[in-house]
A and B are shown apart, each in its own frame.
Chain A
Amino acid sequence: MPTFFNSWLPFLYLYIGGGIFFTAGMIIIRKSKAIDMRLKRDRFWWKVMIFGFFYFALFHAILITAALYL
């Protein structure tokens, strides 16, 4: 039977550890003005990047929930 050690702990490690790198990247591209939020296209990409992070987190969370309870 799956335990916390092969379900939610790796999930938390991945998204907290990876989240630190991801957030650092988002801050650097804003601070360096590499992404120009005045442009419609760049605003779109900003949203896509945030969406992607939660898309994968949700995807993993659904798979874990299905494995544990279905």
Chain B
Amino acid sequence: MEQALNIGTQLDWIVLVIYMMAMLLFGSYFAKYNNDTNDFFFGGRRFTWWLISMSIVATGISSHSFVKYSAMGFKYGFSSSMSYINDWFFVPFFLFGWLPIIVYSRIRSIPEYFERRFSPSARFFVTILQLLYLVGYVGIGFLTMGKAILPLMPEYLTIFGFQIQITLMGLIWVTAVIVGIYITFGGQTAVIFTDLIQGAMLLFAGLFVFFLGVAYVGGWSSFWNLLPPAWKVPFAGFNSPAEFNSVGAFWEDAIAGSVGFLFMNMGLIMRFMATKNVHEGRKAATINILFMLPISAIVVGGGGWVAKAMFEQNATIFPSNMTADQVFVFVSHILAGPGMFGFIIAAIAAALMSTVSGLLNATAAIWVNDVDKPVRIWLKKAKKDDPSDEVRAMKVARISTAAFTILGILAVYAFKSYPTVYQAHAFFHATLTPPLMIAIFFGAFWRKFTPAGLLTTVIGGISLMLLGHRYPQELIGPIAHGTPFDAAHPYTYMAALYNLIVCVVVAVVVTLSQKQLQKISNAIKRNKNNKLIMYSLIATAVAIVLFDLLVVFAKLDLLSLDFTFFLTLLMSGFVALISTHFVKYDPEAQTLGLTIWSVHKAKEWFKGSKLNEREGENVLVHFKVVDGEEDTISFSHKDMKTMEAEVGDLVYISDTRKWLGGLKSCHSVYGEPHNEDGIVYIKNLHLTKGLFVPGQLLEAEKEM
């Protein structure tokens, strides 16, 4: 895959270059909508469901999706769609649990949630994990994009008489600069609006290849009859082959992947936080899973399905040395003419750009909120909630976006050493996802889950997972449901089940042992050598972690597996005791409003007063700008009654042109009513925030 095949024409390159330039200009245009970090990271929390839903499509379909799923579609048929239509099981937890918690608690990043729910040390560990996860993801995104596009490029490109050699890293640097520029200046608003175009392009390009292919083989009936029967089943074999099976897909994708994607992908979470309210976020998630994901399954896998039908009809149409990974490229080249082929290349580039831009924005959000700000507060260089720090925060946001773009490219050099990008991706993902996933899931849905449970899950859980990676046959084999052992990629999917089990067991055992741990901690406190005891425990735990790392990465068999496993469990126990001893935790205060069991409290905090849940109707109004600095807007008595609103309730006003998707809108608070029906009095701050057009009708909606 890493060589140029030169199957494009001059027209294709022109289409690609025009597209790249257009995205650069379009994304940078949205810089004017960024007044503060709230706008930069969350787009001002103003957008409607359809815009966010399309943005999620563009984020969810990465550049490697076309290559990977078309390959699977060619080799196994409709079962390539498995991972796109198995995401419904955690929807209740998300729509009525995690989504309202993150919105109403006004957190700005997932690590911030962990500090409020657990402790600053929990935030520290989660910040490290999240930054590693996101930078690694950015690197893998760049690498897969380069690997997907490079074969389409000529070996040399001549521009104004200069001959430039096309290399994988050269291609990655060019794309990274373009993405870096528009995300650095445009922020989340740029991400969402460029995603709208990129999402549409992705859907169109994938469906275009699929329907052209169906027509090519003689219509739907021929397509259906040409496919072998086993290719038409929507599931892979139950537990074989090793590289693709249903039971593995269930644990790795339907369970771990769905929770990972919906609950801990900061890029995706920020999309939901950019919706105008929780109800709109629910709509975006639901439409995306119910309709957009099944369509996406055709978009990314359809190329492989039609390629199989074309192959059955005439095997000589494809080169004899074609690999499964090259299916999408070849089938697109056969079906699309010059120019259209370039458009499809641009769609692949779009997939990368939209995925990576969202991740970069999320990485910058974590840097600003979880590293820069807490460190400045700790150094007493800034005060908490100091508005004057916003200008500086915006600068830091932009600089860190650029810096993380470069770090993402540097990560490519590390991942390049792996035999395949999927191996690198699978190991990286399987190691970082389960502990974070369990931490978020138990944190939000289990009141009893403690900081000791969390920290032990992160440290002990990861150590046990690494042992599973080192001894797959012994540790994963017994729970692998009979999936074959592949020495080169041992239990790629079933490792997820093992990882989940060890993290859940550690989290549950430590949390349920909290009273006993507290008793031991108290006994140690009463001992005059308490410091010596605790430092000895810390030193022993660190030594065992280092020992585990040597066993796993240096492949040293110093002790038997049983004893190594026992030592790791012992270390987990020490971590639980150390956390219980040192971390200050108030279970009452630190769960209030931060778990599903008290989400109503979070809603009250969000509003700042008692909730008014009476259901009114929206009203259409013209606006009038009045003097004042206060963030309140005023409606007539009659309009207030129609909306069932009271002074102090939250309100959202937006331009009535639905196609803007909420771009011209803002949130505010109901002020004292007046007597001019159909008119809303707004202040200059609302005009600046909403960029309302004079004379344009606005729609007002009571939020709560």
Cβ-based interface call for B422 (8 A): no
B246 with A13: CB separation less than 8 A: yes
**Segment with Cβ contacts to A, from B94-102, B174-182, B210-218, B268-276:** B94-102
A38 nearest CB across to chain B (Å): 9
A33 with B600: CB separation less than 8 A: yes
**Segment with Cβ contacts to A, from B247-255, B376-384, B471-479:** B247-255
Of B233, B246, B290, B445, the most chain A CB neighbours within 10 A belong to B233
**Segment with Cβ contacts to A, from B82-90, B118-126, B330-338, B556-564:** B82-90
A2 with B229: CB separation less than 8 A: yes
Of A25, A45, A66, A68, the most chain B CB neighbours within 10 A belong to A25
**Chain B interface size range:** 35 or more
Contact of A41 among B91, B235, B597, B615 (CB under 8 A): B615
A66 with B232: CB separation less than 8 A: yes
Chain A residue nearest to B615 (CB atoms) is A40
Cβ-based interface call for B686 (8 A): no
B607-643 Cβ-contact flags toward A at 8 Å (1 or 0):
0000001010000000000000000000000000000
Known: A25-B90, A32-B596, A32-B597. A52 touches B236 (CB 8 A): no
A52 with B289: CB separation less than 8 A: yes
Within 8 A of B (CB), among A25-56: 25-26, 28-29, 32-36, 39-41, 45, 48-49, 52-53, 55-56
CA distance A60 to B627 in the complex (A): 60
B175 nearest CB across to chain A (Å): 35
A21 with B89: CB separation less than 8 A: yes
A1-25 Cβ-contact flags toward B at 8 Å (1 or 0):
1100111011101100111011001
Contact of A5 among B96, B97, B237 (CB under 8 A): B237
CA distance A28 to B78 in the complex (A): 34
CA distance A5 to B86 in the complex (A): 18
CA distance A14 to B230 in the complex (A): 19
CA distance A48 to B289 in the complex (A): 12
Chain B interface, DSSP helix/strand/loop, else mixed: helix
CA distance A48 to B91 in the complex (A): 10
**Chain A interface size range:** 35 or more
B89 with A19: CB separation less than 8 A: yes
Q: Which chain B residues lie closer than 8 Å to A40 at the CB level?
A: 615
A70 nearest CB across to chain B (Å): 7
A43 nearest CB across to chain B (Å): 12
B91 with A52: CB separation less than 8 A: yes
Of A10, A17, A36, A63, the most chain B CB neighbours within 10 A belong to A10
Known: A34-B96, A66-B232. A39 touches B238 (CB 8 A): no
Q: Which chain B residues lie closer than 8 Å to A66 at the CB level?
A: 232
B222 nearest CB across to chain A (Å): 14
Contact of A2 among B230, B250, B597 (CB under 8 A): B230
A2 nearest CB across to chain B (Å): 5
A70 with B224: CB separation less than 8 A: yes
B286 with A29: CB separation less than 8 A: no
A1 with B230: CB separation less than 8 A: yes
B430 nearest CB across to chain A (Å): 19
B96 with A29: CB separation less than 8 A: yes
Q: Which chain B residues lie closer than 8 Å to A59 at the CB level?
A: 85, 294
Q: Which chain B residues lie closer than 8 Å to A45 at the CB level?
A: 95-96, 282
Q: Which chain A residues lie closer than 8 Å to B485 at the CB level?
A: none
A39 with B613: CB separation less than 8 A: yes
CA distance A23 to B675 in the complex (A): 51
CA distance A7 to B233 in the complex (A): 6
Of A33, A56, A68, the most chain B CB neighbours within 10 A belong to A56
Contact of A17 among B78, B229, B250 (CB under 8 A): B250
Q: Which chain B residues lie closer than 8 Å to A2 at the CB level?
A: 229-230, 232-233
Chain B residue nearest to A9 (CB atoms) is B238
Known: A9-B238, A41-B615, A67-B233. A28 touches B247 (CB 8 A): no
Q: Which chain A residues lie closer than 8 Å to B237 at the CB level?
A: 5-6
Cβ-based interface call for B599 (8 A): yes
B86 with A18: CB separation less than 8 A: yes
Q: Which chain A residues lie closer than 8 Å to B615 at the CB level?
A: 39-41
CA distance A45 to B90 in the complex (A): 14
CA distance A34 to B238 in the complex (A): 37
Contact of B247 among A10, A33, A36 (CB under 8 A): A10
B234 with A25: CB separation less than 8 A: no
Contact of A18 among B89, B236, B613 (CB under 8 A): B89
A34 with B596: CB separation less than 8 A: yes
CA distance A69 to B286 in the complex (A): 32
Known: A25-B90, A39-B615, A63-B78. A5 touches B238 (CB 8 A): yes
- 6 example contacts (A-B, Cβ-Cβ < 8 A) are as follows A2-B232, A18-B89, A19-B89, A28-B93, A28-B445, A63-B233
Q: A29-B92, A34-B596, A56-B85 are in contact. List 5 more A-B contacts (CB 8 A).
A: A2-B230, A7-B235, A25-B90, A34-B100, A52-B88
Q: Which B residues are closer than 8 A to A by beta carbons?
A: 78-79, 85-86, 88-93, 95-97, 100, 224, 229-230, 232-239, 246-247, 250, 254-255, 279, 282, 286, 289-290, 294, 445, 596-597, 599-600, 613, 615
